[in-house]
Structure 1
Amino acid sequence: MKLPLIALAAAVSLASIQAAAREKADVLIRHATVIDVEHARTIPDQAVATKGDRIVAVGADAAVAKAWGATREVDGKGRYLIPGLWDMHVHFGGGPALIDENKALLPLYVAYGITTIRDCAGDLPYDVLTWRGEIADGALFGPTLLSAGPKIEGVKPVWKGTLETGSEADVDAAIARLKALKVDFVKITDSTLKPELFLYAVRKARDAGLRTSGHIPMALTVGQAVDAGLSSIEHLSYAHKAGSKDEARIAADFAAGRIDRATATAQLDASFDPETAMASYRNLKDHHVFVTPTLNIERLLAYLDTDDHSKDAFLAYVGPGLRKTYQWRIDRAAKATPEQIEARHRDYRATAAVMPLLEKAGVTIMAGTDAGFLNSFDYPALGLHQELALYVENGLTPAEALAAATRAGPAWFGKLDRYGSVETGKQADLVLLDRNPLEDIHATQTVNTVVLRGKVEDRATLDRLLAEAKAKVAKWDAEAAK
């Protein structure tokens, strides 16, 4: 039965009024199960509306869909929505000849659901700072990039791309330089840096309002670095060092030249004490010092003697120059004696075992991989998912591991008001997964869609990014073979 024309016109008019009354979003994700990472719970049948780079509505699907229209809808039915992942320890480097190979890694992070990375300094610091600005301006595609710029080191260090310091005046100049570069934090390493200057640099950076992370000199205790104001400890081996009941004596012996590094390391391992460790870890928590385990590289290097990576599928995404930088660690591992190999395995197991102790003490664990040049088979992007799996394998729950990759990074940078959860007002950096990561942490690898700064990158787009990266590497390989 046909409606009279007047009734039909009234119905059309009412529909138009209702449509006009709806708010307009750029993106509307429908029927998703939102993962509340902070409370380790799932919230089913939710809709999330985004506008620009912000989330503007989150709630029951029917209510949000009634209130909001959108330019683009994303079907989240049967899928799980998490905040974007953060890798809090990556590197770019290998020299100027490898700039393009390093730059080509950026889209890979997005393809694997990683929306923010923290560059912990390499030998291309000024290039990386340029990329940071280009990404922020929309001129370069990649995850949000937070960078230390050039690291602070001693005179004639092993590492290139550093600010060399041999005096307090040098450190003052380095801090001023980093402030001028508007770095996001300060990285301090101990290749040749005097222990007293390490502590001085930490204090001066803190006084300048900059967070610090670094490698603690063997001649210092972890507690001394914490007291100076260190903001994060990079690599789990330093947390293991803090569990030695003889740490102060060993540090003093090393500083006096009575023992070498190998002996000091062996003594630290032998004197690890759980009660001492828990006291040290509670001190980290009380001083708000976070720990970035980089457990994936620890395991990779420990088992280079048994694990064959020659057929790793991800090698197709890593340029020939970067792959070549892996060789020095491979060669070094090949020269190890059976006793040294067993020691590597034993040290890894002992180091990994402190993960649940840190969690029990209330220390915030930040997920970071150490991925980049030199670090053999520690792959950009993929490495973060492997890192999280190792956390669970070594005693954390999937929820704790997920928090390490979604909330810890924003917390360290003081940005939890903008990142780290799927809430109204937060950054529209989101990842839609095919499976529930609270049940199985490997589900973080089932990336269906990424929303990066409000823009949808669906599975087809992510696959295209991977294909383009693989094609670039194949071209470089062909050129290198000529």
Structure 2
Amino acid sequence: MKKLFAILLTVLVLAPPVPATGKGQGDLIIRHATIVDVEKERLIPDQAVVTAGDKILAVGPDAEIAGEWNTARSLDAGNRYLIPGLWDMHVHFGGGPALIAENQALLPLYVAHGITTVRDCSGDLPYDVLSWRQQIAEGKLFGPTLLSSGPKIEGIKPVWKGTLETGSEAEVDQAIAKLKDMKVDFVKITDSTLKPELFLYAVKQARAAGFNTSGHIPMALTLGQAVEAGLSSVEHLDYALNAGVKDEAAIAADYAAGRIDRAEASRRLDQGYDPVFAMQGFRHLAEKGVFVTPTLNGSRIIAYLDREDHANDEYLAYIGPGLRKTYEWRVQRAAKATPEQVQARHEQFEVTAAVLPLLRKAGVTIIGGTDAGFLNSFNYPGIGLHDELALYVRYGLTPAQALASVTRAGPAWFGKLDRYGSVTAGKAADLVLLNGNPLEDIAATRAIHAVVLRGKLQDRGDLDNMMSDARARVAAWDKAAGG
């Protein structure tokens, strides 16, 4: 009896107090919201959403839910449109140790544009990013949830910094073991100097270790070889284009044997693309569960630098002077092109962008990602994702399909759809309240009324303050630099 009494006493002490009203307790209620069901491409009007901590507790008709819950804060949505938080699935941080502060200052820009999660695809500050990931998770640093590859796997003395250099299978195994110790969220593998056979080995071993894999496919390999090895996502649409080249294997073999250089291999791949043949390759990607991150906006910017030099972009005021300087190398390289090369650049972008609806038709999941960050000229963190979405719709996706690419595709790739990707009870309290209907016009994602990040409400005033603080910080850096 004494033991039973002790158990009952413990339960009474530990159990949360029940309000006298009998109502449930939450932190925030959003009332009179039109929920956008992205999966079913439908609107659910006059809903209430209750959150506590970083989780959604209840969702349902406002007339029912509002009377059942007490919350510390209440937000009247005024029939605005509530969507899951946006995911930018391809970002970079880098530019060297001198730019650590400028990179960290980008984090609020993502939140201010409704982006609650980003996938860091590795730059030259991988260990700093992993530290930020931890600080954000612990509530010590403000920013979107960070999912990171940590340092990417590369060959010996690669072009890109911030890598784990590998020249043998044993060194690949050691690299993957290090990444596992770092608890990275996925593995990124690139092709600057990595031997083709080690690229395939790294993909296989990373998958065997339980990681999703992403990367740049070596010219000496076919897309199919990378897919068969276990590549989880193809980054950049031009790599996916190779699935439509009948002679891809012969081109890869010629390049591997040194019979042609990279420029010639690229030319033959571009000329060999056949959209009819491509559907077979795209269906194979879908069957293998390989996702594609188009990163169209960055490609478009470079392709059309002759028409838009971006010198007067207002958003430059939010990018630090050191990061702006990293933009110059792509700009200078593009400026050296002949008129014929510029025209070819335009045509190649249009051919590549036209692949987007074919991938969707083949059943391939499109992941929204920008490639924003250092080096990638005028491809801005935050607003860049909305520019990316506009291109998806311009080149053939519906607004609903585009929206799914930035709300559901990312969680699906990481196996986290049980926690993200919809406004439903039990899911993460990452939400964006829009003034307009994004199923009707994808530009509606730009007009943000409020953001809920891990359960914390950031109203329009808070978001405006994030932007003004970022602008003031950059202005101070410019002044210090004599700009």
Gaps of 5+ in 2: 1-17
Task: State the TM-score, normalized to the length of structure 2.
Answer: 0.95
Alignment of 1:372 onto 2:373: yes
Q: Distance in 2 between matches of 1:408 and 1:142?
A: 21
Q: Distance in 2 between matches of 1:222 and 1:200?
A: 15
1:42-57 equivalences under 5 Å are 42-57=43-58
Q: Distance in 1 between matches of 2:77 and 2:112?
A: 18
Question: Secondary structure of the equivalent of 2:439?
Answer: coil
Q: Distance in 2 between matches of 1:458 and 1:173?
A: 46
Map of 1:452 onto structure 2: 453
**Shift in Å at residue 51 of structure 1?**
0.8
Structure 1 letter corresponding to 2:134 = G
Structure 1 letter corresponding to 2:233 = S
**Shift in Å at residue 427 of structure 1?**
0.1
Map of 2:476 onto structure 1: 475
1:40-439 equivalences under 5 Å are 40-439=41-440
Structure 2 letter corresponding to 1:167 = S
Q: Distance in 2 between matches of 1:299 and 1:217?
A: 23
Q: Distance in 2 between matches of 1:152 and 1:418?
A: 29
Q: Distance in 2 between matches of 1:313 and 1:74?
A: 31
Q: Distance in 2 between matches of 1:391 and 1:408?
A: 14
1:291-314 deviation per Cα after TM superposition (whole angstroms, max 9, x unaligned): 000000010110111103111111
1:213-242 deviation per Cα after TM superposition (whole angstroms, max 9, x unaligned): 000011100000000000000000001111
**Shift in Å at residue 276 of structure 1?**
2.0
**Shift in Å at residue 259 of structure 1?**
1.1
Q: Distance in 2 between matches of 1:254 and 1:106?
A: 40
Q: Distance in 2 between matches of 1:290 and 1:273?
A: 21
**Shift in Å at residue 18 of structure 1?**
9.6
Question: Secondary structure of the equivalent of 1:21?
Answer: coil
Structure 1 letter corresponding to 2:367 = M
Question: Secondary structure of the equivalent of 2:117?
Answer: strand
Q: Distance in 2 between matches of 1:157 and 1:308?
A: 30
Map of 2:8 onto structure 1: none
Q: Distance in 1 between matches of 2:418 and 2:472?
A: 39
Map of 1:461 onto structure 2: 462
Question: Secondary structure of the equivalent of 1:20?
Answer: coil
**Shift in Å at residue 70 of structure 1?**
1.2
Count residues in correspondence: 466
1:262-316 deviation per Cα after TM superposition (whole angstroms, max 9, x unaligned): 1111111111112321111111111111000000001011011110311111101
Map of 1:14 onto structure 2: none
1:46-66 deviation per Cα after TM superposition (whole angstroms, max 9, x unaligned): 000001110011010100001
Map of 1:5 onto structure 2: none
Q: Distance in 1 between matches of 2:327 and 2:150?
A: 23
Change (3 A) 1:18 1:188: closer
Question: Secondary structure of the equivalent of 1:69?
Answer: strand
Q: Distance in 2 between matches of 1:324 and 1:436?
A: 38
The percentage of counterpart residues that share the same residue type is: 70
Question: Secondary structure of the equivalent of 2:244?
Answer: coil
The runs of at least 4 consecutive aligned structure 1 residues that moved more than 3 Å come to: none
Gaps of 5+ in 1: 1-16
Structure 1 letter corresponding to 2:355 = V
Question: Secondary structure of the equivalent of 1:210?
Answer: coil
Q: Using the TM superposition, name which of 78-87 and 274-283 deviates more.
A: 274-283
**Shift in Å at residue 78 of structure 1?**
2.8
Structure 2 letter corresponding to 1:367 = G
Q: Distance in 1 between matches of 2:352 and 2:259?
A: 25
**Shift in Å at residue 19 of structure 1?**
6.6
- Calculate the aligned-residue CA RMSD, in Å: 1.0
Residues 45 and 79 of structure 2 are in contact (CA less than 8 Å); yes or no, is this contact kept in structure 1?
no
Q: Distance in 1 between matches of 2:449 and 2:327?
A: 31
Q: Distance in 2 between matches of 1:304 and 1:370?
A: 17
Structure 1 letter corresponding to 2:329 = W
**Shift in Å at residue 127 of structure 1?**
0.3
Map of 2:4 onto structure 1: none
Change (3 A) 1:22 1:246: same
Structure 1 letter corresponding to 2:330 = R
1:5-61 deviation per Cα after TM superposition (whole angstroms, max 9, x unaligned): xxxxxxxxxxxx997121121100000100000011100000000011100110101
Task: State the TM-score, normalized to the length of structure 1.
Answer: 0.96
Change (3 A) 1:18 1:468: closer
1:422-470 deviation per Cα after TM superposition (whole angstroms, max 9, x unaligned): 0000000000000000000010001110000000000001111111110
Q: Distance in 1 between matches of 2:98 and 2:427?
A: 39
